[in-house]
Amino acid sequence: MALSEELLNILACPKCKGDIHLNNKKDGLACEACQVLYPIRDDIPIMLIDEALPLSQ
C-alpha cells in the first residue's frame, strides 16, 4: 500500500515546516530547502529529523 495523496498533501518537513515531495524512487520524502530525505519504511514515513538522510545530488 502506497502513501495516499491526501497524506502527502498535509505532510511538511519537521525541520523547516516547508514542502516535501515523494522522491523518484518512491522510498522517501524529500525536502529541497533542507536537502534531506525522510525515508519511508513499510509504507510509513519516518519524519524524524535525526533519521533524515542527506539528498544526493
| Neighbour tally for 20: CB within 10 Å | 23
33-45 as b/e: b if 16+ CB within 10 A: ebebbbbbeeeeb
Residue pLDDT tens, the chain, 57 long: 577 888 888 999 999 999 999 999 999 999 999 999 999 999 899 999 999 999 975
Does the pTM surpass 0.85? The reply is yes
For 33, residues 6+ apart whose C-beta sits below 8 A from its C-beta are 13, 16, 18, 19
- Distance between first and last Cα of the chain: 28
Could you confirm whether domain 5-54 is CATH 2.20.25.10? yes
Domain ranges for the chain: 5-54
Q: Cα(57)–Cα(48) distance, rounded to whole angstroms?
A: 22
